[in-house]
Chains A and B, each alone.
Chain A
């Protein structure tokens, strides 16, 4: 284990230029993690602006805020941004920041590779967004990509995607995908090799277990996407026929490859959120996580089953009944371990003394919203029901409950929980409560009515809709939800800036928590721990605080 040399330089004493420089050249997992999260949040705002434009366009039927192509570019960029440039980096950023701290290590296994991954991600994101300027190519057409985030062929072929917008999409995602893969390799090597003395597998914090699983899923899913994108590039530039129906190429083959990546990707976006909730709910309920071994088992089985459910995105392509049945069954099956997790979280709260800090409020919000999104997911697995609902606004409502109500709420919960650790200062609780309620109201207003307009026959990805079909009221309500969310996020940004300067000083362990990251100062020194800690159980700090009744009695 190499120990980074310790620079006893106070950052506050440095000039702005050298401060920026110190971040750019950094290979410290904490700085890299914070940069991941910060840039992810910037892209979150950009993706939010795109969503706002779409909601304005759909405010009323036959509206003309955006042109059809403009709208199509917005939903493509919104989806791509939120998945690849918001979800992935924020979650990988939390992993980066927390894994070494939680397992008592000084840094990641490959710090320079780690920095390389971050810069690949940044470059990939810039490449994707450069398409707004450079996507015109030589053809004088295009701009940003407009093929949807899953880029179904043959819409992405040269014939239907003139110009270079689609190429920017392919290359941007591919480059940031390489970044994610290097990060995943780092996670796995770090978790396998660098745990502190005493930290056996079954003593790892559940967040670390979840990130370990995410690492494996990234290494399975992203190479397949990269391979598919390479095939698409070959089609577009070399005249290959992978997805060319004119030459007997199969456009469904793209769907299989994409969703073989795409469904594990959904779990890549939600499992870290599960991990955060697994850390936060016990601390604020003042109880040990209920059923740790079952949580680990459920995590592993979710990851395993998630590799065999991809075609449930494709129930309407005309698969034979037996194939439809198999994918319906595997999709139902994955609900079981997910359900176990929800029950175990409730079991953890049961009999506790719940402290409703903002972080815990967001965690509870996550439970409420994610449950709803999970149940609509079960509905979508009922194949005939899905024949009505797939590609309708119901699906849009469903995955926004999962990804906004699930992942994003968990991320907010995590930010309120770990902000004191990363910065040494507390976020404002009253402002946080406002953010919480504004976001809860905003997302309910925006996404609940989508289920209804979908059941009334409104397909997704339409730039406008006909009056008189019953869509008006639900779209109006959806758009009304937007300002609530904008206000909530705005308050959050103000909260962060204000708290960075004036926030209450946190101290090493403001929540009276139990995992190793709270055993060091806030913010942690660049070598993380002055002395490598030892781990006595799954809650090492509990053992220190309660020597009369430590956890290792119950192992």
Chain B
């Protein structure tokens, strides 16, 4: 053998399995949401009867909602920083704040739905706006709830003293990835429903 084969390349320097797995899950979720976003855009202005978006949507509470959800992305980052330093108190505080902000978002969505259903008699079977609106916003809210469940689990575990910095930092980071994804989807949903969808 005249020259040595190259075996010094070790792919275990590649990203962790967890990161790749979560990235794949988020990638797949993007395509799932893409279907509903395309459906929403495709059916804008095609409803054969009212109520129409401009008649029922009140943008102000939605804006507050959105600020809360986006802020929760920053608080979860702060929580992770705390965890990395081993400052469990800081970590728990920011986690709690994240959960509260996310919870407020869900509450806001629920209030918006209540207004639509009770005051405007808009349900999923009323017209195409109702069909696409409840599906898209509902699936997003469902993802927020799943994220809240994950965050709450982490918080409870940490209160019980089961979160260890070295072992669990990556796991919590992956949940924060999911939370950021839910946030990013909201920006797209918001643009679709509350900006593009409001055209006359």
The chain A residues found within 8 Å of chain B, CB to CB, are: 1, 109-110, 113, 181, 184-186, 188-190, 192-200, 215, 219-224, 226-228, 230-231, 234, 238-242, 247-250, 253, 257, 534-537, 543, 547, 550, 552-553, 555
Q: Kindly state the separation between the CA atoms of A221 and B3 in the bound complex, as whole angstroms.
A: 45
Q: Smallest CB-CB separation from A249: which chain B residue?
A: B128
The minimal Cβ–Cβ distance linking B178 to chain A, given in whole angstroms, is 14
A185 touches B25 (CB 8 A): yes
A248 touches B9 (CB 8 A): no
Q: Kindly state the separation between the CA atoms of A192 and B14 in the bound complex, as whole angstroms.
A: 7
| Chain B interface, number of residues (Cβ within 8 angstroms) | 43
Known contacts A199-B11, A219-B28, A224-B34; A110/B17 CB under 8 A:
yes
New contact pairs (10) apart from A231-B39, A239-B124, A240-B124, CB-CB < 8 Å? A185-B24, A188-B20, A193-B15, A197-B9, A223-B30, A238-B125, A240-B135, A247-B47, A248-B48, A552-B6
Q: Smallest CB-CB separation from B30: which chain A residue?
A: A223
Known contacts A224-B35, A241-B128; A543/B42 CB under 8 A:
no
B127 touches A181 (CB 8 A): no
A189 touches B7 (CB 8 A): no
Known contacts A238-B125, A239-B124; A198/B24 CB under 8 A:
no
B5 touches A240 (CB 8 A): no
Q: Is B93 an interface residue (CB 8 A)?
A: no
A239 touches B7 (CB 8 A): no
- What DSSP secondary structure best describes chain A's contact surface? helix
Kindly list chain A residues whose C-beta atoms are within 8 Å of the C-beta of B6.
Answer: 198, 200, 536, 552, 555
The minimal Cβ–Cβ distance linking A158 to chain B, given in whole angstroms, is 12
Mark out the residues of chain B between 57 and 98 whose CB falls within 8 Å of any chain A CB in the assembled complex. none
- What DSSP secondary structure best describes chain B's contact surface? helix
Which residue in A109, A223, A253, A547 is a CB contact (below 8 Å) of B39? Answer: A253
B5 touches A537 (CB 8 A): yes
A238 touches B124 (CB 8 A): yes
B125 touches A240 (CB 8 A): yes
The minimal Cβ–Cβ distance linking B160 to chain A, given in whole angstroms, is 24
Q: Is B149 an interface residue (CB 8 A)?
A: no
A198 touches B9 (CB 8 A): yes
B27 touches A219 (CB 8 A): yes
Known contacts A109-B17, A184-B24, A223-B31; A197/B48 CB under 8 A:
no
Q: Kindly state the separation between the CA atoms of A220 and B34 in the bound complex, as whole angstroms.
A: 10
Q: Is B113 an interface residue (CB 8 A)?
A: no
A109 touches B20 (CB 8 A): yes
Q: Kindly state the separation between the CA atoms of A106 and B21 in the bound complex, as whole angstroms.
A: 18
Known contacts A219-B24, A223-B28; A242/B16 CB under 8 A:
no
Kindly list chain A residues whose C-beta atoms are within 8 Å of the C-beta of B32.
Answer: 223-224, 226-227
The 3 closest A-B pairs by CB, nearest first: A227-B35, A239-B125, A536-B5
